[in-house]
Structure 1
Amino acid sequence: MPSANGGGPGRAILYARVSTDEQARSGYSLAQQMEALRDYAAREGYEVMEEVSDPGQSGASMERPGMDRVRDLVAAGGVAVVLAQDRDRFAREPAYHYLLRREFEERGTAIRAMNDRGDGSPEGELTDGILDQLAKFERAKTAERTRRGKQRKVREGKIVASRAAFGFDYNAARDGYVVSPEQMGVVRRIFRMAGVERTTIYAIRRHLEEAGLTTPSGKPKWDASFVRGLLLNDLYKPHTFEEIRRIVSPGVAARLDPGARYGVWWSGRRSFERKRVSRDGPDGRQYKFEYKVKERPPEDRIGVPVPDPGIPREWVDAARATVRGNRRPANAGRREWELSGGILRCAECNRAMSARSHSKPKRDYFYYCCSAGASDKPHICTVSKNHRAEDLEARTWEAASEILKDPGRLRAGLDEMIERERSGGGRGDPAAEARTWADRLAEVGRKRDGYLDLAADGIVGRAELRAKLAALEETRETAERELDALRRRTERLEGIERDRDGLIETYAALVPEAIDALGSEERHRVYKMMGLKALLGADGALELSGDVIGFPKNGISSS
């Protein structure tokens, strides 16, 4: 290889890089690269100015501490050449390699690799460029083959993941899940707290930590986003065989038990983008990764059935509803706000009321106000008045506690609501309706088979067959749609009954004095179990309603 400056070898920077943390920790690859570079520099007569390494850094990004150091040294001048063992140590992308070469050439510095094929001439550069593009193409093909291999395994009903999900272990072949009883016990506990007891995510996290339970990675501190993701994960939602059959191949479905229930592990549920960035700060340049996560549409995912986690479906649905409406009770002004988290809403715009505090020398004042009106957004809401928090919370608790203090009234009100929901405005018994639509589906299947037999015998023509099958398909879709609506209605009924039992079991046994003594956080939890919604008018009129129990409209209709 010729010298870089044409007048003698000159000063050189040796650059080495590895991209994996394992290589970075062992140091073997870095040491091997540096040793080869030192031998080469000595053989060519270069004076080594500095050795720079980038441990655990990807060549797909230019944001690397070691490469930034090399660029700074080159910019300072006096560097004849930057040496690396292979061209892809500088950068994986040919475009990045080109940018570095042009940048270094402007400072009179060459960029060289021990595996360069060219001689520095235009023809040689063309040769290196073509080979770089071929190497990039080969890497892309390898990645594509790997991706297709994983997809093939997933379509065969096999799980392809580096670590088993919480609550599961790998089977002996490490291509499927088995339930881990100990971990799944914690998962069920989380779903019960969220779905049955209507506990907030932050309260669940605190409970787990106080109970001394550790995270999947063995840490004592639980992350709220992990708990939220667990509650929304289809792994823990029991699916019927019919639901699973729609998302897996016929070969996978044939291996399943039609009478069993299954969770779903999704391959390709999210797409991840990772970008290396650097920012200058008071302690120098800092390097970090920025991530973008996108949910892929269902048609771009592949589902794999996993063993039933043993969590009731109604718990899962109720927990997800809790997550959707879950907002942490505000603690503005260092107090617990009983009606925050979406319970108290503006009667004009239906937005959640926000908590505000105002401090004066002798005391603090606490208010609720419409988040839109208080922000001077008249096109959304014109209500800007502040309402005293103590007054609103006292009026709300007075109405709710009266129901809790009367077990007979509590049970009667809940039973009345359940019966009203069951009757569904005259729609009839959900179980009887479900049987009717199921019979209708079975009839569609029998007719379809009959039409196909008639077509096979030549009794029915092709055009007539298509018309009859189209009509049957429309009937089938209607029946499945109605069955799905009935299922949701049944699950809502079960959720209301569950909340009824939870309220009665937890609070009906308390004496009135104990109910009055409940703290703000416990009152907030009661409201969540009741599914309480409070609408606040501009004049202070307060109207309550609940998913679990109805409140008389004239109960606290005004201040």
Structure 2
Amino acid sequence: MRVAIYACVSSERQEKEHTIGSQLDALRTYAAKNGMEIDEEFTDEGYSGARLDRPALDRMRDLAERRGFEVLLTYCTDRLARKFVLQALILDELERFGVKTIFLEGGAADDPLSKLMHQITGAVAEFERAKITERYRRGKLYRARCGEIVSPDVPFGYVKIPRRDGVPTHAEIQETEAVIVRRIFDTYVKEDMTVRQIAKQLTLNRIPTPTNAGQWSWYAIDRILHEEAYIGTYYYNRKQCIPIEGAYGKKRQRFKCTLGPKEEWIPISVPPIVDLATFHAAAGRARENEAFSPRNLQEGGYLLRKLVRCGRCGCSCSALTSKQTYGGKVHCSHYYSCLRTTSGFLKQERCSQRRIRADVLDELVWEEVSTRLLDPALVLDAYQDHNTRRSVSSEQDGATDQDDRLKEQIKLSNKELSRLLDAYQCGALELAELQKRRQLVNSKIEMLNREQELLRKIAAEKKKETDIKASLGEFAALVSSNLKRISFENKQKLLRIVLDKVVVNDWRVDVYYNIPLPKPTPPPAEKVSTKFDLRSTCRFRRCDRVMPVVRKKSI
């Protein structure tokens, strides 16, 4: 009688502890005791039992199909599969191939009574596992809502303190790592370095990484700059794990993590490492870098990238390159195209705006801006107007009312804390319940105090006055005198400061400035430009007609 044995462990921990060896010993002992000679041994170490794509299991099923053995020995039913449906599938397949399956725990699976018992125990075991998993998940959510750290890991810069003496699991600042986090934020915000430059600098300085990998990556720096735990709020239940199908031969099930709905996030108060102003400054710079990444810019390609808007639908215009081959050479043409010209299932829903030649529009707008920047007083007026608008908007925020509201909430929270202590002294609350409720109230007070501190900083910045008119005048004069020699990258930076947007509707170009312009004179009749042609052109079609271009200046 040809006999094969199959053993499986589903975790790396079981693999390291050699629990698969105990299964093999028990199976070999059973075979020797019953006079069976083992022909094949199949072992899956560290592969999940909830999946069928296991290498040894596949080889065993292939050998059974070729009638390579007659009896299969395994320790118990969940070694074949942890799900009842998968167990039934494998057992039915082995039965069709004439293979008798014997479990050391449960006996053979060849008679109707044994099959019934295996089916019942398999279904009950799967139900119990699902129930335990759900209880564990709900328990973790409850503990997280009570302010307890339930995640296996904490962000870089913190250390997880386990539960002891009635104090729940919480996070504390690890100062050696917190210094690195503050350095990353200060370097990114104040020294104007990119995430890749920061990663290179930390690696050259031999600064330890979060995973002790020896080399910092730009992704690790970017994740630190976006981690809200560093301003005092750590979120649990933020990500959803979706299983990835088709990952054949992997030891564990692969998952794809995506952000869940924000209303399901659970905030947990942790000690802050950086201040709110620095964190928001880093977030603002990250958004700007994402929109104007130098890696996506080409010399002479798109000067008005992210500034062009469609005048028909108001959508942003993307930068695209069209390649054509004629005369044995590849010629590239740059265009601005409305994003809605190709989106939408129905043709009627798409935008009818034509593509705009990037080189012509860039030259047209740059000539217009250069003319305006020849007057340094415009830059000074722009600065004064910007300060006026910022101060007005700050006053309209009702900072005083918000500060009074925060003080009232802090006062009510302190009263609530006093009532909890009184209830504990009177015996109405147990110590464990007092600690849970007190931690929630303390977390609320900490968040209110941080918000109040931010309001005070904003109020202090409003009162701060700096006389920079002289420096702005020098800057404006310097820009005006060097406009002809300015580089392509500096042109882009200057246009982002000066322009709000450039709206193109057919052949009409409206330029909207961020700087105040002189009061417009009575609008003249529309003129026809003899220099600029915004249409798409190619070698095989000659464009003799010129387009009217109206330049509109507004604040």
Same fold (TM over 0.5): yes
Q: Give the equivalent residue in structure 1 for 2:334.
A: 366
Kindly tell me: are residues 440 and 274 of structure 1, through their superposed partners in 2, closer, same or farther at Cα, counting changes over 3 Å?
closer
Structure 1 SS opposite 2:42:
strand
Write out per-residue CA displacement over residues 189-228 of structure 1, whole angstroms, 9 at most, x where no aligned residue. 665677789x8xxx8332223324475324535355x656
Q: 1:176 aligns with which of 167, 170, 179?
A: 170
Q: 1:381 aligns with which of 351, 363, 367?
A: 351
1:57-76 pair list within 5 angstroms: 57-76=47-66
1:81-96 pair list within 5 angstroms: 81-96=71-86
Kindly tell me: are residues 231 and 44 of structure 1, through their superposed partners in 2, closer, same or farther at Cα, counting changes over 3 Å?
same
Kindly tell me: are residues 291 and 89 of structure 1, through their superposed partners in 2, closer, same or farther at Cα, counting changes over 3 Å?
same
Q: Give the equivalent residue in structure 2 for 1:98.
A: 88
Write out per-residue CA displacement over residues 315-368 of structure 1, whole angstroms, 9 at most, x where no aligned residue. 427716853993464867965855576333323232232221425527543333
Q: Give the equivalent residue in structure 1 for 2:309.
A: 345
Contact 1:343 1:534 in 2 (8 A): yes
Aligned mates of 1:180, 1:276 — CA distance in 2: 39
Aligned mates of 1:74, 1:335 — CA distance in 2: 65
Kindly tell me: are residues 292 and 160 of structure 1, through their superposed partners in 2, closer, same or farther at Cα, counting changes over 3 Å?
same
Contact 1:264 1:306 in 2 (8 A): yes
Q: Shift of residue 109 of structure 1? A: 1.6
Aligned mates of 1:403, 1:169 — CA distance in 2: 56
Kindly tell me: are residues 94 and 366 of structure 1, through their superposed partners in 2, closer, same or farther at Cα, counting changes over 3 Å?
same
Amino acid at match of 1:177: A
Structure 1 SS opposite 2:39:
strand
Q: Shift of residue 188 of structure 1? A: 4.9
Q: Give the equivalent residue in structure 1 for 2:243.
A: 274
Q: Shift of residue 165 of structure 1? A: 0.4
Kindly tell me: are residues 154 and 113 of structure 1, through their superposed partners in 2, closer, same or farther at Cα, counting changes over 3 Å?
same
Aligned mates of 1:418, 1:530 — CA distance in 2: 15
Write out per-residue CA displacement over residues 493-534 of structure 1, whole angstroms, 9 at most, x where no aligned residue. 989x99x99xx89x9499447776665455555666778533
Q: Shift of residue 57 of structure 1? A: 0.9
Structure 2 SS opposite 1:143:
helix
Q: Give the equivalent residue in structure 1 for 2:5.
A: 14
Kindly tell me: are residues 172 and 510 of structure 1, through their superposed partners in 2, closer, same or farther at Cα, counting changes over 3 Å?
farther
Aligned mates of 1:173, 1:386 — CA distance in 2: 64
Structure 2 SS opposite 1:74:
helix
Contact 1:544 1:551 in 2 (8 A): no
Q: Give the equivalent residue in structure 1 for 2:211.
A: 217
Amino acid at match of 1:204: T
Aligned mates of 1:323, 1:114 — CA distance in 2: 61
TM-score (norm 1): 0.67
Q: Give the equivalent residue in structure 2 for 1:429.
A: 395
Write out per-residue CA displacement over residues 220-256 of structure 1, whole angstroms, 9 at most, x where no aligned residue. 35355x656545443134xxxxxxxxxxxxxxxxxxx
Aligned mates of 2:411, 2:297 — CA distance in 1: 67
Q: Give the equivalent residue in structure 2 for 1:316.
A: 280
Aligned mates of 1:445, 1:232 — CA distance in 2: 28
Amino acid at match of 2:211: S
Q: Shift of residue 29 of structure 1? A: 1.9
Contact 1:188 1:311 in 2 (8 A): no
Aligned mates of 1:294, 1:110 — CA distance in 2: 45
Aligned mates of 1:516, 1:34 — CA distance in 2: 81
Aligned mates of 2:245, 2:316 — CA distance in 1: 39
Amino acid at match of 1:307: P
Aligned mates of 1:446, 1:182 — CA distance in 2: 35
Aligned mates of 2:17, 2:217 — CA distance in 1: 34
Contact 2:302 2:319 in 1 (8 A): no
> How much is the aligned-residue C-alpha RMSD, in angstroms?
4.8
Q: 1:43 aligns with which of 15, 19, 33?
A: 33
Contact 1:118 1:127 in 2 (8 A): no
Contact 1:330 1:337 in 2 (8 A): no
Aligned mates of 2:321, 2:140 — CA distance in 1: 52
Kindly tell me: are residues 321 and 357 of structure 1, through their superposed partners in 2, closer, same or farther at Cα, counting changes over 3 Å?
same
Amino acid at match of 2:395: D
Aligned pair count? 464
Kindly tell me: are residues 388 and 308 of structure 1, through their superposed partners in 2, closer, same or farther at Cα, counting changes over 3 Å?
same
Q: Shift of residue 398 of structure 1? A: 5.7
Write out per-residue CA displacement over residues 26-46 of structure 1, whole angstroms, 9 at most, x where no aligned residue. 361223322322222333333
Kindly tell me: are residues 522 and 15 of structure 1, through their superposed partners in 2, closer, same or farther at Cα, counting changes over 3 Å?
farther
Contact 2:199 2:218 in 1 (8 A): no
Aligned mates of 1:540, 1:438 — CA distance in 2: 49
Aligned mates of 2:198, 2:493 — CA distance in 1: 17
TM-score (norm 2): 0.67
1:83-482 pair list within 5 angstroms: 83-117=73-107, 120-171=110-161, 175-181=169-175, 183-184=177-178, 187-188=181-182, 204-213=194-203, 216-219=210-213, 220=215, 222-224=217-219, 229-237=223-231, 263-275=232-244, 277-278=246-247, 289-313=253-277, 315-316=279-280, 319=283, 322-323=286-287, 326-327=290-291, 329=293, 338-339=302-303, 342-349=306-313, 350-358=315-323, 361=329, 364-373=332-341, 379-389=349-359, 391-396=360-365, 409-424=378-393, 429-430=395-396, 433-436=398-401
Kindly tell me: are residues 518 and 380 of structure 1, through their superposed partners in 2, closer, same or farther at Cα, counting changes over 3 Å?
same
Aligned mates of 1:552, 1:62 — CA distance in 2: 74
Aligned mates of 2:14, 2:22 — CA distance in 1: 11
Structure 1 SS opposite 2:382:
helix
State whether structure 2 residue 503 is matched by structure 1 residue 535: yes
Q: Give the equivalent residue in structure 2 for 1:461.
A: none
Aligned mates of 2:154, 2:290 — CA distance in 1: 28
Contact 1:13 1:81 in 2 (8 A): yes
Kindly tell me: are residues 332 and 177 of structure 1, through their superposed partners in 2, closer, same or farther at Cα, counting changes over 3 Å?
closer
Which shifted more, 68-77 or 359-368? Answer: 359-368
Aligned mates of 1:345, 1:493 — CA distance in 2: 38
Aligned mates of 1:328, 1:38 — CA distance in 2: 66
Kindly tell me: are residues 517 and 29 of structure 1, through their superposed partners in 2, closer, same or farther at Cα, counting changes over 3 Å?
farther
Q: Shift of residue 286 of structure 1? A: 7.7
Contact 1:332 1:356 in 2 (8 A): no
Kindly tell me: are residues 122 and 538 of structure 1, through their superposed partners in 2, closer, same or farther at Cα, counting changes over 3 Å?
same
Write out per-residue CA displacement over residues 54-74 of structure 1, whole angstroms, 9 at most, x where no aligned residue. 222111122222222222222
Amino acid at match of 2:323: H
Q: Percent identity?
A: 25
Q: Give the equivalent residue in structure 2 for 1:240.
A: none
Q: Shift of residue 105 of structure 1? A: 1.1
Aligned mates of 1:80, 1:54 — CA distance in 2: 21
Contact 2:7 2:43 in 1 (8 A): yes
Amino acid at match of 2:396: P
Contact 2:102 2:108 in 1 (8 A): no
Contact 1:345 1:534 in 2 (8 A): yes
Kindly tell me: are residues 47 and 415 of structure 1, through their superposed partners in 2, closer, same or farther at Cα, counting changes over 3 Å?
farther
Kindly tell me: are residues 355 and 519 of structure 1, through their superposed partners in 2, closer, same or farther at Cα, counting changes over 3 Å?
farther
Write out per-residue CA displacement over residues 356-396 of structure 1, whole angstroms, 9 at most, x where no aligned residue. 1425527543333223336795622112324133x444455
Q: Give the equivalent residue in structure 1 for 2:423.
A: none
Q: Give the equivalent residue in structure 1 for 2:546.
A: none
Unaligned 5+ segments in structure 2 are 416-450, 522-548
Aligned mates of 1:173, 1:382 — CA distance in 2: 64
